[in-house]
Amino acid sequence: MGILEVKDVGKRFGGLQALGDVNLSVKENSVHAIIGPNGAGKSTLLNCFVGKLIPDTGSVTFDGQSVLGRTPYEINQMGISRVFQTPEIFGDLSVMENMMIPIFAKRDGAFRLQAIPHMMEEKDIVEAAEKQLVDMNMADKRNMHAAAMSRGDKRRLEIGMCLAQEPRLLLLDEPTAGMARADTNNTIDLLKQIKEERDITIAIIEHDMHVVFSLAERITVLAQGTPLVEDTPDNIKGHPKVREAYLGE
Ligand code: ADP
Ligand code: MG
């Protein structure tokens, strides 16, 4: 059984069946990519894993426990962290302050903006954030305004903010979207490094096939809300249905 098990998940938005019967099993400590054309339902599926959406039908279990009906905070506490499709950092805060936020949130259940002036007084949180910055190779940027960083570094910070919560499952929704090639390659290297250094499972939605084929051990192709095929990268590359539905051939 996988660490994440998705069974017969369906989700409808009004007249639109965004997800049909989705079945998916993500093996512990693997990198599993979900690919598919725009509007295939990839983000909707991810939203069902983290409590942002509740599917109409089916089940989602993490480490044998249902996530359905739990709040995003409860699911986060279970060990799932997620990087969003659009960067979710606080541009007005420093890199260090940003890194402290998820550590606060995990401890206190929420992050309150009123806590910002007092953040540096929390020794444990400062230490944990500093360690994560070093791990991310960002210690030299600790006092920088987050808004002033490159897109690639913002992404790096965001991924670090997720990892600071020490998740067992990291979910990434198009982490390299809009990045220059050099930043994309840095992100690939970063994810490889994370995989080597930690016991972590990664599920990644990604458009860039270079990223997918560099990282994934399993690939699920989603088309119109239904998994078309799930296989190894080598088999996916040559799959005629995939070429037709996804690569437009
Ligand atoms: P992907 O991430 O694969 O590009 P999405 O999961 O974002 O696709 O969207 C799948 C389909 O569901 C799209 O047709 C999209 O317009 C629709 N959709 C997504 N979220 C909502 C929503 N909150 N309300 C209505 N329709 C939505
Ligand atoms: Mg999406």
CATH number at residue 86: 3.40.50.300
238 backbone dihedrals φ, ψ, rounded to 5°: -100, 5
ipTM above 0.90, yes or no: yes
Percent of the chain with pLDDT over 90: 73
Q: What is the structure's pLDDT at 87?
A: 58
Q: Which residue's CA is minimally distant from atom 1 of ligand 1?
A: 39
Question: Is the pLDDT assigned to residue 109 strictly greater than 90?
Answer: no
Site of tokens 């210690």: 139
- Determine the Cα–Cα distance for residues 16 and 174; give it in Å rounded to an integer: 23
Count of the separate structural domains present in the chain: 1
Question: Is the pLDDT assigned to residue 57 strictly greater than 70?
Answer: yes
Domain for residue 56, yes or no?
Answer: yes
Using alpha carbons only, give the angle 124, 76, 60 rounded to the nearest 5 degrees. Answer: 160
Domain for residue 241, yes or no?
Answer: yes
Nearest to 100 by CA among 76, 134, 124: 124
Q: Can you read off the two tokens belonging to residue 141?
A: 């940027």
Work out the end-to-end distance of the chain between its first and last CA atoms, rounded to an integer number of angstroms. Answer: 35
More confidently predicted of 77 and 86: 77
Domain for residue 72, yes or no?
Answer: yes
For ligand 1, whether the C-beta of 13 sits within 6 Å is: yes
Domain for residue 18, yes or no?
Answer: yes
Domain for residue 38, yes or no?
Answer: yes
135-159 average pLDDT score: 92
193-204 average pLDDT score: 95
Looking at 15-24, 105-114, 161-170, which range is the least confident one? 105-114
Q: Is the dihedral of CA 14, 54, 176, 228 positive or negative?
A: negative
Residue 139 Cα to ligand 1 middle (Å): 37
Q: What is the structure's pLDDT at 107?
A: 83
Q: Render pLDDT for 14-31 as a digit per residue (tens, 0 to 9).
A: 999 999 999 999 999 999
Half-sphere exposure (CA, 13 Å, Cβ side) for 230?
A: 14
Domain for residue 43, yes or no?
Answer: yes
Expressed as residue numbers, the domain containing 86 is 4-90+158-245
Residue 127 Cα to ligand 2 middle (Å): 35
Residue 128 Cα to ligand 1 middle (Å): 36
Question: Is the pLDDT assigned to residue 249 strictly greater than 60?
Answer: no
Residue 57 Cα to ligand 1 middle (Å): 17
- Determine the Cα–Cα distance for residues 82 and 100; give it in Å rounded to an integer: 16
For ligand 1, whether the C-beta of 15 sits within 6 Å is: no
Domain for residue 73, yes or no?
Answer: yes
Alpha-carbon distances of 164 from 53, 100, 122, 149, 203, rounded to whole Å: 24, 8, 15, 19, 17
Determine contact, residues 33/212, Cβ cutoff 8 Å.
yes
Amino acid sitting at position 76? N
For ligand 1, whether the C-beta of 38 sits within 6 Å is: yes
Rounded to a whole number, what is the largest CA-CA distance in the chain?
Answer: 58
Using a 10 angstrom Cβ sphere, with 0-12 exposed, 13-18 middle and 19 or more buried, the burial of residue 101 is buried
Q: What is the structure's pLDDT at 247?
A: 60
Domain for residue 239, yes or no?
Answer: yes
- 3-class SS of residue 60: strand
Residue 108: pLDDT band (50, 70, 90) is confident
